[in-house]
Amino acid sequence: MSFNARSAWSIYHRELWRFLRTAFQSVLAPVLTTALYILVFGSAIGDRMPEINAVDYGAFIIPGLLMLTLLGETTSNSSFGIYMPRFTGTIYELLSAPVGVAETLVGFVGAAATKSLILAAIILLTARIFIDYSIAHPFLAFIFILLVAAAFSLFGFILGIWADSFEKLGIIPMLILTPLTFLGGTFYSIADLPEPWNSVALLNPIVYLVSGLRWTFYGSADVSIWVSLGITLAFLILCVAVIGYIFKTGWRLRD
Amino acid sequence: MSEPILELSGLTKQFGGGVKALDDVDLTINRGEIFALLGPNGAGKTTLIGAVCGLVRPTGGTIRAFGEDLQGNWRQARARIGLVPQEISTDMFEPVLHAVSYSRGLFGLAPNPARIEEILRSLSLWDKRDARIMELSGGMKRRVLIAKAMAHEPDLLFLDEPTAGVDVELRKDMWHQIDAMRARGVTVILTTHYIEEAEEMADRVGIIRGGKILMVDQKDAMMARLGRTEAHIALAQPLDTLPPAIAAFSVELEEGGRSICYRGGDGTGKGREEVADLTKALIASGIDYIGIDVRESSLEDIFVSLLGEEEEQAA
């Protein structure tokens, strides 16, 4: 199987250029929203809240808020990245180019993941202004953020191919991802939930992502880091398989 | 001897609803030629292009490009094929130079600013290189699409209705561009509604309808085979019958004997010569005339007549 690095780089470079072109919307808006969450729930209310697992409440919510932004923005960026060429018809160029699934994924998904890492870095730096927090396992945190960014970039890519309207494009991030993230332990530990809600919460896949990232920050979480990593990896592999199938069959791409 | 650059054999595309957009199409395009594919709306022109360029999945038949099977060799083949789509589809916020450079990279070629400049200059786009595509006129946008398709220096270029909706001046300008591509050795396949365009540009013409190729021939040969000259000679005095010297020509009386109608020739100018002989014969026979209207049939007449015959057969 051959891989055309120049093609992949061209897609990657162009997607990042598009990201920077719309920096106000794609960087400033999510950073501002997250900063407001941190300011209100972390700084203003956080001081009156008890510690959770020996972590200040303000610091406790940072991994969850980061995950909230990361999931929404990564999915949106990636889905828009492939949906817009389909919508405007410019996808003809990609489909007629000597470009396969590998180059397309490295280009589009790589760029979406890069955007997410940049966003995550800015959010963490911004959070530092308001909240005193530390990262216990910075390398693992980086790997985990990278994995989540890659997995949800792939997921967004699938969403962008599946959607045939802007409405559908927004449904999953707004009506599924955001509520699941809020209910996935962003603002609380699911261990504090009474049964059966504690067990029900474990059915929410976002719990494992929030919990995994929180573990890399503070060394303690609701579920094991290895379970979180395993689920993230499994989701990533599933998305790759779905995209491989889409390219093989041309579903929603080629008539 | 002509060398095939693209060979379609039994190419078929049936869409989900059962509509056959391409029906067992056999077609060979030779290196260096300009081939015009003519057909009414929905004839299958764009589907045919899509099947070769990877936008449409054929349901039957084979495509060979550059001597190799396209399915097994799609990467190498696509790197040598360019496409200018019918619709103006490009990122409108992108500057011209950026868009064209991207296309080159997408097709796997190393950056070559000098080559990009050459392409943009040849299309009179160099001065607009930093302009966002949305700021350009419709004609300029079309040129950007051509520049994008030329950025990876294709050997085979598809132009899907390149002059649809553009004014006459720009259309002629586009023809010059196509001529320049031919001069560079690019094989061009263009689909068009403007038969005048095929007449002006093409070496060979194919006529497609209902997904079937009705005819493929050298443009001149098609004109020679199907072309006709029609002349109407208005007589000074009406005639009841034609004298034998005149009746020997392919003529008939019309308008109650006030006019003679000639139909003949073969589209190569032979008809005009016969009309000249006919006028001499009229003078020699003492028949005076007051006007002559001579008309050569165009490719459009041939096209319309072919489609008409096809419809009659179908009925």
Give the ipTM: 0.87
B45, B191 in Cβ contact below 8 A?
yes
Q: How many whole angstroms from its chain centre is CA B271?
A: 25
Q: Could you tell me what percent of chain B has a pLDDT over 70?
A: 92
For residues B177 and A74, the model is more confident at A74
Best of B106, B107, B159, B161 to mutate (most A CBs within 10 Å, chain A) = B106
Confidence of residue B315 (pLDDT cuts 50, 70, 90): low
Beta bridge partners of B230: B263, B295
* Mean pLDDT of the region A205-228: 92
**In whole angstroms, what is the distance from residue B127 CA to residue B96 CA?**
10
Confidence of residue A225 (pLDDT cuts 50, 70, 90): very high
Q: Do B54 and A254 touch (CB under 8 A)?
A: yes
Instruction: Give Cβ neighbours of residue A65 (< 8 Å, ≥ 6 apart).
Output: A34, A37, A38, A41, A123, A127, A186
Chain B: give the shortest CA distance to residue A205, in Å: 36
Give chain B positions within 8 Å (CB) of A100.
Answer: 75
Answer whether B93 sits within 8 Å of A96, measured CB to CB. Answer: no
Q: Are B192 and B84 in contact (CB under 8 A)?
A: no
A26 to chain B: which residues are within 8 Å by CB? none
The pLDDT score that the predictor gives to residue A234 is: 95
Across the interface, of B55, B108, B109, the residue whose CB is closest to A255 is B55
* Average pLDDT of span A131-155: 93
Distance from CA of A119 to the nearest CA of B (A): 23
Inform me whether the C-beta atom of residue A99 falls under 8 Å from chain B C-beta atoms.
yes
Instruction: Answer whether B74 sits within 8 Å of A89, measured CB to CB.
Output: no
Q: Two tokens at B24?
A: 């067992």
- A66-83: pLDDT as tens digits: 999 999 989 988 898 899
Structure token digits, residue B68: 């190799």
The parent domain of residue A14 ranges over 5-249
Instruction: State the pLDDT confidence band at B28, using cuts at 50, 70 and 90.
Output: very high
Task: Judge contact between A209 and A230, C-beta under 8 A.
Answer: no
Domain count, chain A: 1
Is residue B1's pLDDT more than 60? no
In chain B, what are the domain boundaries?
4-224, 228-296
Whose CA is closest to B150, among B121, B128, B127, B173? B121
Sheet with B259-264, edge to edge strand ranges: B251-254, B259-264, B229-235, B289-296
Q: Report yes or no on A161 lying in a domain.
A: yes
Helix (H, G, I), strand (E, B) or coil at B14: strand
Does residue B15 have a pLDDT over 60? yes
**What pLDDT was estimated at residue A240?**
93
Tokens describing residue B168: 């006459």
Low-confidence winner among A194-198, A205-209, B151-155, B193-197 (lowest mean pLDDT): B193-197
- The verdict on residue A255 lying in a domain is no
Q: Is A225 on the interface with B (CB under 8 A)?
A: no
Task: Decide: A171 and A159 in contact? Cβ < 8 Å.
Answer: no
Specify if A64 maps to a domain: yes
Which residue from B76, B6, B57 is spatially nearest to B35, judged by alpha carbons? B6
DSSP state of A192: G
Contact B87 A89 (CB under 8 A): yes
**Residue located via tokens 């997921």:** A155
Give contacts of A88 with chain B, Cβ < 8 Å.
89-91
Residue B174 half-sphere exposure, CB side, CA atoms within 13 Å?
Answer: 30
Nearest CB neighbour to B57, from listed A7, A17, A254: A254
Structure confidence at residue A12 (pLDDT): 95
Q: Which two tokens stand for residue B122?
A: 């040849």
HSE value, Cβ hemisphere, 13 Å, CA-based, for B156: 24
Nearest-Cα residue of chain B relative to residue A22: B93
Residues 141-180 on B with a CB inside 8 Å of A are 148
* DSSP H or E run through A149: helix A138-162
- Tell me whether residues B93 and A100 touch, CB distance under 8 A: no
- Please tell us whether the domain made up of B4-224 is placed in CATH 3.40.50.150: no
Q: What does the pLDDT read at residue B312?
A: 64
Task: Tell me the nearest-neighbour CA distance from B37 into chain A, angstroms.
Answer: 20
The C-alpha atoms of residue A198 and residue A202 are separated, in whole angstroms, by 7
Q: What angle do CA B111, B112, B116 make, to 5 degrees?
A: 115
pLDDT at B311 over 70: no
Confidence check: pLDDT of B281 > 80: yes
The CATH number of the domain covering residues in B228-296: 3.30.70
Exposure string for B52-82, b = 16+ CB within 10 A, e = fewer? bbbbbebeebebbbbeeebeeebeebbbbbb
A198 near B CB under 8 A: no
At B27 the pLDDT is 94
User: SS3 of B51, please?
Assistant: helix
Mean pLDDT within B271-279: 88
Element at A196 (helix H, strand E): none
Q: What pLDDT sits at residue B63?
A: 95
Q: How many CB atoms lie within 10 A of CB A65?
A: 22
pTM score, whole prediction: 0.83
Per-residue pLDDT of B128-169, as tens digits, reads 999 999 999 888 888 899 899 999 999 999 998 887 766 777
Confidence band for A41, pLDDT divided at 50, 70 and 90: confident
**Could you report the per-residue pLDDT of B112-123, keeping only the tens digit for each?**
999 999 999 988
Per-residue pLDDT, B124: 86
CB nearest A92 (choices: B55, B81, B91): B55
pLDDT at A187 over 80: yes
Option in A9, A90, A100 nearest B90 (CB):
A90
> Is a pLDDT exceeding 70 seen at residue B99?
yes
For B2-15, b/e burial (b = at least 16 CB within 10 A) is: eeebbbbeebbbee
pLDDT above 90 (res A103): yes
Q: What is the pLDDT of residue A97?
A: 94
